[in-house]
């Protein structure tokens, strides 16, 4: 039995300690936002945040996560009240099929939490790990830039 802290809540997960976090989220906690893409840490569809950093949940066993703070796309906002990164992706219409987008948003969120004013080069370098098979990368990059502005407005609005 392992206790996982996900989006500020503690969950007891009764799974083998080598179970990948992605399976724990989807199969045990019904948090289906993180997606299974390749299962080999090559595509980034499963990206979530751990202690503020982007992590590939398909190749991270839950054994390494006790006492660490996990954040998933469900922690960024709700359908009625989407967070700044989610609003930016919607406003930029960055999704085509949408399968890679939760991972994209989580990687973007990790960047913006560490660096609220990234350059275009910073964004490109940081987002490099996540793939979109539809090829909407240009819109995704614009969405991340837009999110920078939304976060700034939200902060100044208090």
Partner 1 sequence: MIRRLVVVLLLVLAVAGIAFFASAWRPRMPAIDTPLRSSFDAASIQRGAVLTAIGGCASCHTAPNSKAYAGGLPLETPFGTIYATNITPERETGIGRWSLAAFVRAMREGVDRDGRQLYPAFPYDHFTHVADEDLRAIYTYLMTREPIRAEAPRNDLVFPLNVRMLIEGWKLLYFDHAPIRPDATQSAEWNRGAYLAEGLGHCGSCHTPRNFLGALKKRRHYAGGDIEGWHAPALDASSRAPVPWTVDALQQYLKRGVSNVHEVSAGPMTRVIHNLAVVPDEEVRAIATYIASNMGAPEQAREERGKEALIRARSAAEKGGDAGIQKLTTGGQQSETTIQDGRVIYEGTCMLCHGAAQRTTGAPSRDALNLGLSTSIQLGTPVNLIRIVLQGMAPPDGESGPFMPGFSTELTDEQLVSLVTYLRSDFSDHPAWQNVAREVRRARQSLARMD
Question: Residues 64, 21: contact at Cβ < 8 Å?
Answer: no
Tokens of 145: 């830039």
Of the candidate residues 3, 64, 90, 138, the single one contacting partner 1 (CB under 8 A)? 64
- C-alpha 88/C-alpha 122 separation (Å) is 18
| Beta carbon of residue 87, minimum distance to partner 1 (angstroms, whole number) | 26
| Sole binder of partner 1 in the list 20, 75, 83, 118 (CB under 8 A) | 20
Handedness of CA 31, 27, 99, 121 (dihedral sign): positive
Q: Is 114 in the site for partner 1 (CB under 8 A)?
A: no
Which letter, b or e, does each residue of 10-49 get, where b requires 16 or more Cβ atoms within 10 Å of its Cβ?
Answer: ebebebeeebbbbbbbbebbebebbbebeeebebbbbbbb
**Using CB under 8 A, which residues numbered 81 to 100 contact partner 1?**
none
Residue 41 makes contact with partner 1 by CB under 8 A: yes
According to CB under 8 A, which one of 56, 73, 132, 144 is a site residue for partner 1? Answer: 56
Which DSSP category does 74 fall into? G
Residue 80 C-beta: closest distance to partner 1, Å? 31
Residues 126-155 close enough to bind partner 1 by CB under 8 A? 129
**Residues within the interface to partner 1 (CB under 8 A):** 17-20, 38-42, 50, 53-56, 58-64, 68, 129
């Amino acid at each position: 039995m392992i206790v996982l802290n996900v989006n500020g809540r503690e969950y007891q997960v009764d799974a083998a300690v080598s179970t990948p976090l992605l399976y724990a989220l989807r199969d045990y906690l019904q948090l289906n936002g993180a997606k299974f893409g390749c299962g080999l840490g090559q595509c980034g569809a499963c990206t979530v945040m751990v202690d503020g950093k982007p992590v590939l949940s398909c190749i991270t066993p839950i054994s390494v996560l006790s006492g660490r703070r996990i954040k998933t796309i469900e922690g960024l906002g709700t359908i009625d009240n989407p967070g700044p990164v989610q609003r930016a992706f919607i406003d930029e219409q960055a999704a085509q099929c949408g399968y890679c987008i939760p991972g994209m948003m989580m990687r973007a969120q990790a960047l913006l939490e560490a660096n609220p004013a990234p350059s275009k080069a910073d964004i490109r370098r940081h987002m490099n790990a996540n793939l979109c098979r539809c090829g909407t990368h240009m819109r995704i990059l614009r969405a991340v830039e837009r999110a920078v502005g939304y976060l700034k407005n939200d902060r100044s609005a208090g």
